[in-house]
Structure 1
Amino acid sequence: MKIVAQVKLLPASAHDADTLAATLRACNRAANWVSEVAHAQDLKRRNELQKAVYYDTKDTFDLAAQPAVRVIKKVVDAYATRQANLKAGNYGREDSKRRARVESRPVRFREDAAQPYDDRILTWNLNARTVSIWTVAGRLKGIPFVCSEQAGELLTARRGESDLVMRDGMFFLIATVEVPEPQAYEPAGWLGVDLGIVNIATTSDGRTMSGRRVNRYRKRQRDLRQKLQAKRTKSAKRALKRIRRRESRYTTQRNHIIAKKLVTTAERTSRGIGLEDLSGIRQRVTAKKDQRSALHSWAFAQLGAFVEYKARRVGVPVVRVDPRNTSRQCSECWHTHRTNRVSQARFACRSCGIVLHADHNGSRNIAHRADAAWQRGVVNRPRTSTR
């Protein structure tokens, strides 16, 4: 399977940093021009587009041969991604104004958008922890980088492209790493996971990962942003710029921790993991005005992605199930009614009388549905029957 490892570049001088920034600007300006040609002439295949724009891209934007090829490939990939989103309905129905607006315009790239590099224009020296990278001013050699111990180990299995990224004046390389993926084992049972806002994750074992801490942190950050925005001073704007990604980093860290706990529990007990398929929930659910911020800042997709990739690395099977009525169905007698959900935290079945925490009841339903889907064979099964 493919994952990514991130390293931080440490340019030796302001000149080197300015050169890297100028390289990103040149590549993205070239990408915007190539995108306009691709849109105007309907050239979405790589060979056709490269034949039409390759020499002009090199000459006009002063790019070397391989960077020009990477720029064209980036544009082709962007149009492929947009087409996949259109097909999936992520930009609305075929007759919607939003979809028509997206289709009528060429794909645009920010001046500091990431630029892909391959081994011809980027060389790694893992022992010295340095890289040699192509820029518009020539090769910059011996640029040091720093990374975590885990990322350093992953880089030994690096394959394919690496992306040069600039964030808040700092430069990073995000490398694609190929790691072995063990065969998923036959689960002895299922660990159902109910995702939510009040409780980020609740398992069918009754374990709850509360979202109280994350929600308090988000409220503090929201209040701080409102105060700084009201001041409208230069120092307030600098502070806003400094803290703008803080909440995202915090949420990502919490999701990594929760995902690791879930996968470790499932692996230790030889079970699989059942998750809700919450794709499109923001379009399906209508939230009250005071709840919209919590709903739209809910990083359930990220948590689900973290669980899936961590599970794949250790061979734990993961099944996505339909979340419909998981909060209204009794996990004991299967009676389903909206009045079973007494409150946000309390579930009381009107048929059998069982009383449970609502999220615990939902996670048990998810575990049952994951087992049923596995037994029906609607998901990929491992070749071996035992772990």
Structure 2
Amino acid sequence: MKIVTQVKLLPTPGQASALEATLRTVNDAACWVSAVALDRGVPREYELRKHTYAELKARGLGAQAAQHVIKKTCDAYTALRANARAGNLGRPGSRRRVKAESKPIVFRRDAAQPYDDRCLSWQLDARTVSIWTTAGRLKGIPFACSTEALRTLREHRRGESDLVERGGAFYLVATCDVPEAPVNEEPAGFIGVDLGIVNIATTSTGYRAAGRGLNRHRKRQLDLRRKLQAKGTKSAKRLLKKRSRKERRHAANENHLIAKTIVSTAERTGSGIALEDLTGIRSRVRLRKDQRQPLHSWSFHQLASFVEYKARRAGVPLVYVDPAHTSQQCSQCHHIDRRNRRSQSAFACRACGVMMNADHNASRNIACKGEAAWIAGRESRVPATPLAGGSDAGGRATASRALPASPVACGRVKLTAQSVTEA
């Protein structure tokens, strides 16, 4: 499993100037390569190298840096084509899609630049790095990170690292290949997780992560941005730039804490985790204008991805289930009725009369669906049964022959057909 580990570089003023100039140079070169690629019909990387490599070397880029600039440009066009095929840029011929496909891709001057082991070396004991720049090789640049991050780098770092500049500070984001723990094939049960806005996550075990604090933080950040944007002065713009990404960092930190709590509980109890598959929910629902901002600020996908990768590291089984009717179905008698959901927080079954918190009821339904999906997705271990009274030409009893299993996709869970006997 590939994860990333981030460290902060602590360069001197002269080293910081060299790193900044390097990022500006390689990204300006990437913009030029992008224009050449579009003019040539976006050829493959090897073909594009013939038209750009000599010029990149003339601009002061090293051999490996030039190769990475060309590859970065090709990857950007690959992502553009993938987005077009997926319909993320609109229909063919739409104004947005034509604009995206008719102009060369432009790279920000502080965009990340990949480095491999030929142009970046780590001295983990000394906590320093040696990195290539347009001003030459810079050696002994110290970096800061946690003890856990340092151990991950020492044991699992593989592949490239990206040099990133954010707010005047420089970071290295290293790729680490961490082995996954063996998955518990016989979980004691499943913990259902209901995701929402009022309550960020509610589990069938009773844990509830209230979204009141996070929603209040987002509202405060939104009001402040509106005031600063209306003011429009230089100091207001400086403050806007300083506070940029603050809300995103705060939400990511909250999601990390919630995901860690859920996975730790599942690991401790030997249970699996069942999550809702909420793909496309923003395009399916229709809301009032005052409800749109909370919905589009809802980071359910990030929380689900955090739970997923933490579960894979811990060896906890995880399945995605269809969320249909989980808020309307009674977790006691399984009666489904729209009127069961009396309000955002209240659930009252009109069949059996049970009353409970609506999110807790939904999480219990998700847990039941997760357990059913896990059982259905496991391969059958039933041995083949011999035919009654059957014999071959030599008089020996014949055993039935199991048909090969054929996986059938069911959401994100693969169902395997059970072995059947021939008549």
Give the TM-score normalised by the residue count of structure 1.
Answer: 0.93
Cα deviation for residue 96 of structure 1 reads 4.2
**C-alpha deviations, 1:61-84, integer Å up to 9, x for none?**
321110000111111222222233
- Residue 30 of structure 1 aligns to a residue whose secondary structure is helix
The residue number in structure 1 matching 2:262 is 262
Cα deviation for residue 103 of structure 1 reads 2.9
How many angstroms apart in 2 are the aligned matches of 1:262 and 1:283? Answer: 28
- Residue 143 of structure 1 aligns to a residue whose secondary structure is strand
Structure 2, gaps ≥5 residues long: 378-409, 416-423
CA contact (8 A) 1:163 1:173 kept: yes
How many angstroms apart in 2 are the aligned matches of 1:334 and 1:360? Answer: 14
CA contact (8 A) 1:119 1:161 kept: yes
- Residue 260 of structure 2 aligns to a residue whose secondary structure is helix
The residue number in structure 2 matching 1:385 is none
Alignment RMSD:
1.8
**C-alpha deviations, 1:192-232, integer Å up to 9, x for none?**
10110000000012221100111111122222222333333
The residue number in structure 1 matching 2:300 is 300
What are the residue-to-residue correspondences of 1:264-303 with 2, within 5 Å? Answer: 264-303=264-303
The residue number in structure 2 matching 1:66 is 64
Kindly provide the amino acid, as one letter, of the partner of residue 32 in structure 1. C
- Residue 72 of structure 2 aligns to a residue whose secondary structure is helix
Give the number of the structure with larger relative contact order, counting CA–CA contacts within 8 Å between residues 6 or more apart: 1
The residue number in structure 2 matching 1:49 is 48
Change (3 A) 1:373 1:83: farther
The residue number in structure 2 matching 1:151 is 149
How many angstroms apart in 1 are the aligned matches of 2:87 and 2:335? Answer: 34
Higher mean C-alpha displacement, 92-101 vs 148-157: 92-101
**C-alpha deviations, 1:78-102, integer Å up to 9, x for none?**
2222233333333334464433433
The residue number in structure 1 matching 2:83 is 85
The residue number in structure 1 matching 2:405 is none
How many angstroms apart in 2 are the aligned matches of 1:5 and 1:228? Answer: 34
- Residue 221 of structure 2 aligns to a residue whose secondary structure is helix
CA contact (8 A) 1:46 1:73 kept: yes
- Residue 278 of structure 1 aligns to a residue whose secondary structure is coil
How many angstroms apart in 2 are the aligned matches of 1:180 and 1:162? Answer: 19
The residue number in structure 2 matching 1:32 is 31
Higher mean C-alpha displacement, 323-332 vs 294-303: 323-332
- Residue 202 of structure 2 aligns to a residue whose secondary structure is strand
Q: What is the percentage of aligned positions where both structures have the same residue?
A: 61
Cα deviation for residue 4 of structure 1 reads 0.7
Aligned equivalent of 2:127, options 117, 126, 129: 129
What is the count of residue pairs matched by the alignment? 379
- Residue 274 of structure 1 aligns to a residue whose secondary structure is strand
The residue number in structure 2 matching 1:384 is none
How many angstroms apart in 2 are the aligned matches of 1:327 and 1:314? Answer: 30
Cα deviation for residue 105 of structure 1 reads 3.0
Q: Determine if the alignment matches structure 1 residue 10 to structure 2 residue 10.
A: yes
Change (3 A) 1:87 1:361: farther
**C-alpha deviations, 1:24-80, integer Å up to 9, x for none?**
111111112222222232335322222332222222x32111000011111122222
Change (3 A) 1:42 1:326: farther
**C-alpha deviations, 1:292-350, integer Å up to 9, x for none?**
11111111111111111111101111111122222122223333232221111112222
The residue number in structure 2 matching 1:318 is 318
**C-alpha deviations, 1:353-382, integer Å up to 9, x for none?**
22221111111121122122222215369x
- Residue 332 of structure 1 aligns to a residue whose secondary structure is coil
The residue number in structure 2 matching 1:191 is 191
How many angstroms apart in 2 are the aligned matches of 1:32 and 1:110? Answer: 9
Kindly provide the amino acid, as one letter, of the partner of residue 77 in structure 2. Y
How many angstroms apart in 1 are the aligned matches of 2:123 and 2:206? Answer: 48
CA contact (8 A) 1:63 1:136 kept: yes
Change (3 A) 1:110 1:349: same
**C-alpha deviations, 1:218-247, integer Å up to 9, x for none?**
122222222333333332222222212221
What are the residue-to-residue correspondences of 1:214-293 with 2, within 5 Å? Answer: 214-293=214-293
Change (3 A) 1:340 1:98: farther
How many angstroms apart in 1 are the aligned matches of 2:47 and 2:213? Answer: 53
Q: Determine if the alignment matches structure 1 residue 98 to structure 2 residue 88.
A: no
Kindly provide the amino acid, as one letter, of the partner of residue 256 in structure 2. H
Structure 1, gaps ≥5 residues long: 382-387
Cα deviation for residue 5 of structure 1 reads 0.7
**C-alpha deviations, 1:255-285, integer Å up to 9, x for none?**
1100000000111111111111122222222
Give the TM-score normalised by the residue count of structure 2.
Answer: 0.85
Kindly provide the amino acid, as one letter, of the partner of residue 69 in structure 1. Q
- Residue 106 of structure 1 aligns to a residue whose secondary structure is coil
